[in-house]
Structure 1
Amino acid sequence: MPFLSGSLSFERFRVSKFDSETFDQEHLDKMMKHTAGNVETSSTENVHTGFLGGAHLFDQDFDLNKNVINEAVHFGIRIDTNSIPSAIKNAWMSMELAAAARDNPSGVATKSQRKEAKEAVEQRCEVEASTGKYRKFQPFALLWDTYHEMLYFGGTAGTASGHCADLLERVFEVELGHVSAGTIAQDWALASDRYAEMDDVMPASFVEGQSISSVAWANEHSKSPDFLGNEFLLWLWWMLETQTEVIALPDEGEVTVMLAKTLSLECPVGENGKETISAEFPTSLPEAMQAIQHGKLPRKTGMTIIRDGQQFDLTLQAETFGISGAKIVLDEDVEDFGPEDRIDAVRQLSDTVDGMLHTFCDLRTGTAWEETRLAMQEWLAPATKQSKRKAA
């Protein structure tokens, strides 16, 4: 499972209402009671979720020494589905209709024949599903940091993470909340007595003449200001280009940052489409600068970050603050880097990207923001406009 080896990809969920300060045998017993594979799914369109021991697709062994590491629980959840692909069902339906209409003068199936064909296909689906031929197993790695009340889900937020969250909430009677750029910002604002300022934050315009009231990719059902993730990446780009490669963190630490490998941009008002650039240093390419000069915002970027001597290479998604393809770059002198060290590295990586966003939020809700925004707008202005302003 990737949390203990290989590259890291995850999104996070805040865990609340857990009934214990530690994860004990009684909690493992609950996992064992709901182990993946205990319930066979034989009917169509059926979904069953269950826990895995964390080692592989069929691991049903749970043990405190194996699963509880460094005040975190490493395990898996498997989603079993038994659904006939729609292309196959459509093909069966076409075959049934063709057979029914063969002797009709019109060559078209009647209403009653279409009903019979539908019933025949449904019956065939039940029979085929019972054979297990179309059963699929989809495993996901999870790391539950009980000490920091955080769940790391080894995938992207969506239907699968929803099934996993439902299982955890049902079995452990907890509540899970998806962590995103907006929720990180709101939590920081609450802790820093800036909630009123954060509540007033609206999408900013960094291109002269462009007005933005909301971003095209915003979740209309969410009140979290996730657009701050896009603004953060643009600010980070500006900082690295014009100010410094070292970002100060609120805890008085520092992180050295370099944007690398990949960059995805999109027009916030949905007019100029999307653009993805793959290069060693994508932000140095003319097309990258032209994209943001035309008002596009970063939605995802690769980066290298170094903090306290530890280097991470990763890709950060702006709105969700989801991390993908993260590699822990070890020093050549490091010989023993075990599971506990891996979990500490996951924590450090999360704290570091959050800390950089906290630094931006402090600026974004402070008195110096307008001056910074205008400086970024000047940076993005085409060279001809900059020359005219200097001449004036």
Structure 2
Amino acid sequence: MPFLGGSLAFERFDVSGFDAPQFIDEHIEILDSHRAGQTQTSSTENIHVGFLGGSHLFDPDFDISKNVINDALHCGVRIDTNQIPAAIRNAWLQMELAALAKDNSSGVPTKAQRKEAKEAVEQRCDVEAATGKYRKMQQFPILWDQRNSMLYFGGSTGTASGHCADLLERTFEIELRHVSAGTIAMQWGRDNKKLAEVEDLVPACFVPNHHHGDIAWTSEHSQAPDFLGNEFLLWLWWTLENETDTFELPDESEVAVMLNKTLTLECPAGESGKEVISAEAPTRLPEAMQAVRCGKLPRKTGMTVVRDGQQFDLVLQAETFAISGAKIHVDEDIEFGVEDRIDAIRTLSETIDLMFHVFCARRVSSAWSKDLGEIVNWLGASDQQDQKSAA
């Protein structure tokens, strides 16, 4: 499972309502009583979700010594579905319609024949589903960090994470809240008595004549200011280019940062599309600067961060703060076990959040107007340099 070895990819959920000071045998029994594969999926309407021991797709074994590591619960979730592919359903429907309409003078099936064809296809789907031929199994690793009330889900948010969250909430009687740039900013605001200031923030204008009202990728169901994640990446880019590559974090530690490997930018108005740049130093390429000057904002970037002697390579998604392709660099001369790896995941998560906290403090302070003005000038100066080079 990726949390215990290899590269990492995860999104996070805050956990509330779990009152136990540590994981015990009772919690392992809950996993076992809801393990995957106990119920076979034979209907196209059924989706079965259950826990896995964590080793592989069919691992049914749970044990406190195996699944509880360094104050964290590690296991898997398997989602079994039994859906007939849409292309096959459509083919069956066309075949039924052709057979029913072959004797029609018009060659077109009647309304009654269309209804009959649909009913025949549904019956066939039920029969085919019962064979298990189209059964699909997906597994996702989870790491529940009890120490920090944080759940790491080894996949992207969507249907899979929804099923996983529902299973955990039902079985452990807890509540999960998806972590995003906006929720991190609001929690920072609560902790620092700046919540009102955070809630009053609106998207900044970095390029004249490119004011952002509604941002195309913002969820209409969320009130969290996730656009701050995009602004954070642009501010970080500007800071690294013009100020420093080393930051003092709120806990008085230091982090060194470098943007590398990949950069994705997109028009927040949904008008001029997306640009994906792959290079050793993508932010230094002229096409990256040109994209920002056209009003695009960063949505994803690769980066290397070093804190307290620990180096991480990762890709950060701006709005969700999802991490992918993360590698933990380990000195070959140092013994590094699974407990150390879980501590490293905690450090990675904390480091990214603390970096964002530095930005949040700037964003709600009087210093932001200065930063914004300098970013605007930086982009304008780059534009003028490109025009001179072209001339």
SS in 1 for 2:255: strand
1:168 and 1:162 map into 2 onto residues whose CA distance is 10
Alignment of 1:162-181 (within 5 A): 162-181=162-181
1:366 and 1:111 map into 2 onto residues whose CA distance is 66
Q: Give the C-alpha shift of residue 384 in structure 1.
A: 6.5
Equivalent residue letter for 2:204: A
Alignment of 1:57-96 (within 5 A): 57-96=57-96
Aligned to 2:100: 100
Contact 1:301 1:315 in 2 (8 A): yes
Aligned to 2:244: 244
SS in 2 for 1:299: strand
Q: Give the C-alpha shift of residue 299 in structure 1.
A: 0.2
Aligned to 1:345: 344
Equivalent residue letter for 1:98: A
Contact 1:53 1:75 in 2 (8 A): yes
Q: Give the C-alpha shift of residue 385 in structure 1.
A: 5.3
Contact 2:293 2:383 in 1 (8 A): no
Q: Give the C-alpha shift of residue 271 in structure 1.
A: 2.3
Deviations 1:257-308 (A, max 9, x none): 0000000001122222110000111001010011111211100000011111
Aligned to 1:381: 380
Change over 3 Å in CA distance of 1:210–1:116 after alignment to 2: closer
SS in 1 for 2:237: helix
Change over 3 Å in CA distance of 1:213–1:294 after alignment to 2: same
2:358 and 2:163 map into 1 onto residues whose CA distance is 34
Alignment of 1:155-234 (within 5 A): 155-234=155-234
Q: Give the C-alpha shift of residue 113 in structure 1.
A: 1.9
Gaps of at least 5 residues in structure 1 are 388-392
Q: Give the C-alpha shift of residue 208 in structure 1.
A: 2.4
Change over 3 Å in CA distance of 1:180–1:78 after alignment to 2: same
1:325 and 1:252 map into 2 onto residues whose CA distance is 28
1:242 and 1:110 map into 2 onto residues whose CA distance is 71
Aligned to 2:115: 115
The aligned length equals 387
1:109 and 1:213 map into 2 onto residues whose CA distance is 49
Contact 1:215 1:269 in 2 (8 A): yes
Contact 1:313 1:328 in 2 (8 A): yes
1:317 and 1:73 map into 2 onto residues whose CA distance is 25
Alignment of 1:251-330 (within 5 A): 251-330=251-330
Deviations 1:5-24 (A, max 9, x none): 00000000000001312111
Q: Give the C-alpha shift of residue 145 in structure 1.
A: 0.4
1:237 and 1:378 map into 2 onto residues whose CA distance is 14
Contact 2:14 2:151 in 1 (8 A): yes
SS in 1 for 2:73: strand
Aligned to 2:389: none
- Structure 1 residue 128 and structure 2 residue 128: aligned? yes
Aligned to 2:371: 372
2:73 and 2:374 map into 1 onto residues whose CA distance is 46
Deviations 1:227-270 (A, max 9, x none): 00000000000011000110221111111000000000011222
Equivalent residue letter for 1:248: E
Change over 3 Å in CA distance of 1:105–1:271 after alignment to 2: closer
Contact 2:289 2:382 in 1 (8 A): no
1:257 and 1:116 map into 2 onto residues whose CA distance is 64
1:332 and 1:50 map into 2 onto residues whose CA distance is 38
Contact 1:293 1:382 in 2 (8 A): no
SS in 2 for 1:144: strand
2:241 and 2:92 map into 1 onto residues whose CA distance is 59
Aligned to 1:7: 7
Contact 1:41 1:80 in 2 (8 A): yes
Q: Give the C-alpha shift of residue 196 in structure 1.
A: 1.4
Change over 3 Å in CA distance of 1:115–1:214 after alignment to 2: closer
1:83 and 1:386 map into 2 onto residues whose CA distance is 56
TM-score by length of 2: 0.97
1:383 and 1:192 map into 2 onto residues whose CA distance is 36
Deviations 1:197-236 (A, max 9, x none): 1111111011123322232211111110000000000000
Aligned to 2:361: 362
Equivalent residue letter for 1:345: A
2:370 and 2:112 map into 1 onto residues whose CA distance is 72
Equivalent residue letter for 2:180: S
- Structure 1 residue 148 and structure 2 residue 151: aligned? no
Contact 1:48 1:79 in 2 (8 A): yes
Gaps of at least 5 residues in structure 2 are 387-391
SS in 2 for 1:265: strand
1:86 and 1:213 map into 2 onto residues whose CA distance is 38
